[in-house]
Chains A and B, each alone.
Chain A
């Protein structure tokens, strides 16, 4: 692409007149170009294209029968125009990157972006800059996400069904695990991240999961050991949730799934208040007489309590909720995380929203409490700060809908947990269902094709030059193309994501010291309990002593 600046404004973007002989069909919306101004290079993105005639009458002159005239008029009388949005200005003398606060002068030369330009903006691939893909039509140039910035805030991955959200998520998880900057906890609803997932590419069929790639750095937890074994996965730990850890607010969050009305929710709080920590188990075991007595004692409506009990019986059908589980899942997860491992919790056949939301909420709530306590201690100088934790949730609109986000722990994490080193990676296909307030707090968004107007609107909320990006967003391919915008990239960027194939596996598993991380042994069938095997050389993060943990979890 070669051209010159024709006209434009800071707010409305710049128009570039393509040089004679340039083929506008080859220039795609979303590609990068550089405007060489007098003192600054303006790194810009193509956002629109059109055809303009210097004299509008030219459009109506039929020149198609005269190839000579046709060639003369193309590029002079009728010009191909590309609209670009300057995103970043680079002071050529100082090499300083700064936001765009001026526009390049008239007739400044516009050229395609080169590798060094892309590196200047997005950085070179290194341990903290993760190569996620390439700019459109520049397959050989890597675009990097700054992982340090990425994990600083909660992030979102959005896209219509079938546009590769799982794939992008897996890619980002690989990057984060490899960097070792944070720990990851994945609530893996469809069991796609742990051992292996479906690959829509006919030739590959199966995509390697995190365990296969990172071996001992990843632990697979499961709610459904049978499903895991059927898939040939040997989980490190089978998660069981004790009744006593289910609180009123956990039930309140799944009111829709349990079909509860507001009265029922009030009754739950009364139950918890009067029956204490074991309220749920006690309540489910109540017979008609006990219910009557309880209703009289608390002044509640007997019918309402009975109805609530019937509805809560649904919970008993969830096989992973136990009265007295052999081990505490949260404690175990924390142990693994503290040992610098990453945890993928597979749901197996328990993929109902009820199970997913309940488990995710219960576990996250307790992990959150723990992180808050630890951070407070760290502030008091009593211990070192936590390793950042990234929690991955799918179907995020269920947790973060405007009604829910204020109550659930996820809403709170999205809003303020940055301070406590816990952030979310929300994966969703209906971003419009997520509370706008949560949206505004999301640091980086990776967005695949969205066609629904409201969804586009919501992901673009709070983004500069949203109007420009709208065209780009609606013209993405359905596969392997996404736009990344926000905190971790200096400017919105459309990328063709890396292919998740053998080359990628080799790349991601290659240690910087050429030491292979992967042990290549499938997970161990550990059933319940044993401590994870940890590399001897690995330095353990502070505060992971078992005794300490117990104290943190349950107090002195």
Chain B
């Protein structure tokens, strides 16, 4: 599988990767993996940013359609870059998934790939990822949690049963705050 990005910043809890192409970014709330030696570190895409290559200057508005721009000013697209951040949820070692942080954070410049459905299914059986998404440092915990529930639920044989199971766990994590739970589940359109 071709890498979709490369790790450019890494901590124990999250890492940031630069996308191979500025307009090719994994979906918000989807699962990615980084192979680091013997282990495979899994993360959930928790946000993305596209801006100028130098990180200082800003892109300029042209008020033209994207097609016109590509014809007239193709070079401006070469000056764009996209980064996406991921929260670490667990890792796999010797064929076994561990639903907690890996012994060491992912190294820089390692390729980032999308996780396949089977891997997502395995990870989704351990509901601890909810705790990590809900406490996402970017502050969009509820939004991210809803997104990841949408991602994981679709792969289940009985999505509704899975969503209920997830909901119950989430309610516990939220200290039985039903109002907060409601705000997450308003963004989960599986009935």
Complex interface: stretch among B46-54, B63-71, B128-136, B177-185: B177-185
Q: How far is the CA of A54 from the CA of B176 in the complex (A)?
A: 6
Given contacts A68-B167, A69-B185, A77-B171, contact A58 B191 (CB under 8 A): no
Given contacts A68-B160, A68-B185, contact A73 B179 (CB under 8 A): no
Residues of chain B from 152 to 191 with CB closer than 8 A to chain A in the complex: 160, 163-164, 167-168, 171-172, 175-179, 181-182, 185, 188, 190-191
Over the window 68-86 of chain A, the binary record of Cβ atoms lying under 8 Å from chain B Cβ atoms (1 yes, 0 no) is 1101110111000000000
List chain A residues, Cβ under 8 A from B185: 66, 68-69, 72
List chain B residues, Cβ under 8 A from A71: 164, 167
Most buried by B among A55, A61, A63, A72: A72
Flag if A68 contacts B178 (CB, 8 Å). no
Q: How far is the CA of A418 from the CA of B121 in the complex (A)?
A: 74
Flag if A72 contacts B176 (CB, 8 Å). no
Flag if B182 contacts A66 (CB, 8 Å). yes
Q: CB within 8 A of A76: which of B168, B179, B182, B188?
A: B168
A122 to chain B, nearest CB (A): 39
Q: How far is the CA of A72 from the CA of B176 in the complex (A)?
A: 11
Flag if A72 contacts B179 (CB, 8 Å). no
Q: Give the bracket for the number of chain A residues in contact with chain B.
A: 10 to 19
Flag if A63 contacts B182 (CB, 8 Å). yes
Residues of chain A from 31 to 75 with CB closer than 8 A to chain B in the complex: 53-55, 57-58, 61, 63, 66-69, 71-73, 75
Q: How far is the CA of A547 from the CA of B166 in the complex (A)?
A: 88
Closest to B190 in A: A68
Given contacts A53-B176, A55-B177, A69-B167, contact A61 B182 (CB under 8 A): yes
Flag if A55 contacts B178 (CB, 8 Å). yes
Flag if B191 contacts A68 (CB, 8 Å). yes
B161 to chain A, nearest CB (A): 10
Given contacts A72-B164, A77-B171, contact A63 B191 (CB under 8 A): no
Closest to B182 in A: A69
Q: How far is the CA of A76 from the CA of B167 in the complex (A)?
A: 10
Tally of chain B residues near chain A (CB < 8 A): 18
Given contacts A71-B164, A72-B168, A76-B168, contact A58 B182 (CB under 8 A): no
Flag if A57 contacts B178 (CB, 8 Å). yes
List chain B residues, Cβ under 8 A from A72: 164, 167-168, 171, 181, 185
List chain A residues, Cβ under 8 A from B191: 67-68
Q: Is the interface of B mostly helix, strand, loop or mixed?
A: helix
Flag if A58 contacts B164 (CB, 8 Å). no
B145 to chain A, nearest CB (A): 14
Flag if B160 contacts A58 (CB, 8 Å). no
Flag if B182 contacts A68 (CB, 8 Å). no
Q: How far is the CA of A58 from the CA of B172 in the complex (A)?
A: 13
List chain A residues, Cβ under 8 A from B168: 20, 72, 75-76
List chain A residues, Cβ under 8 A from B188: 68
Q: How far is the CA of A73 from the CA of B182 in the complex (A)?
A: 10
Closest to A56 in B: B176
B170 to chain A, nearest CB (A): 8
Flag if A76 contacts B177 (CB, 8 Å). no
List chain B residues, Cβ under 8 A from A57: 177-179
B165 to chain A, nearest CB (A): 9
Given contacts A63-B182, A76-B171, contact A68 B163 (CB under 8 A): yes
Given contacts A69-B185, A73-B171, A76-B172, contact A63 B178 (CB under 8 A): yes
B84 to chain A, nearest CB (A): 30
Q: How far is the CA of A54 from the CA of B168 in the complex (A)?
A: 13
B44 to chain A, nearest CB (A): 21
Q: CB within 8 A of A55: which of B163, B167, B175, B190?
A: B175
Q: How far is the CA of A71 from the CA of B168 in the complex (A)?
A: 9
List chain A residues, Cβ under 8 A from B177: 55, 57
B162 to chain A, nearest CB (A): 11
A107 to chain B, nearest CB (A): 16
Closest to B169 in A: A76
Flag if B160 contacts A77 (CB, 8 Å). no
List chain A residues, Cβ under 8 A from B171: 72-73, 76-77
B174 to chain A, nearest CB (A): 9
A346 to chain B, nearest CB (A): 66
List chain B residues, Cβ under 8 A from A66: 182, 185
List chain B residues, Cβ under 8 A from A68: 160, 163-164, 167, 185, 188, 190-191
Flag if B178 contacts A73 (CB, 8 Å). yes
List chain A residues, Cβ under 8 A from B181: 69, 72-73, 77
Q: How far is the CA of A457 from the CA of B113 in the complex (A)?
A: 75
Q: How far is the CA of A73 from the CA of B168 in the complex (A)?
A: 7
Closest to A71 in B: B164
Given contacts A61-B182, A72-B171, A73-B171, contact A55 B176 (CB under 8 A): yes
B153 to chain A, nearest CB (A): 11
B166 to chain A, nearest CB (A): 9
A59 to chain B, nearest CB (A): 9
Closest to B166 in A: A72
List chain A residues, Cβ under 8 A from B160: 68
Q: How far is the CA of A448 from the CA of B114 in the complex (A)?
A: 71
Q: CB within 8 A of A77: which of B164, B178, B190?
A: B178
List chain B residues, Cβ under 8 A from A53: 176
A193 to chain B, nearest CB (A): 59
Closest to B184 in A: A69
Q: How far is the CA of A66 from the CA of B164 in the complex (A)?
A: 12
Over the window 142-158 of chain B, the binary record of Cβ atoms lying under 8 Å from chain A Cβ atoms (1 yes, 0 no) is 00000000000000000
| 8 closest Cβ pairs, A-B complex | A72-B167, A55-B176, A54-B176, A61-B178, A58-B178, A76-B168, A77-B176, A76-B171
Would you mind naming 5 contact pairs between A and B with Cβ atoms under 8 Å apart? A54-B176, A61-B182, A69-B178, A73-B181, A77-B181
10 extra A-B contacts, CB within 8 A, seeds A20-B168, A72-B171, A75-B168: A55-B175, A55-B176, A57-B177, A69-B181, A69-B182, A71-B167, A72-B164, A72-B181, A73-B178, A77-B171
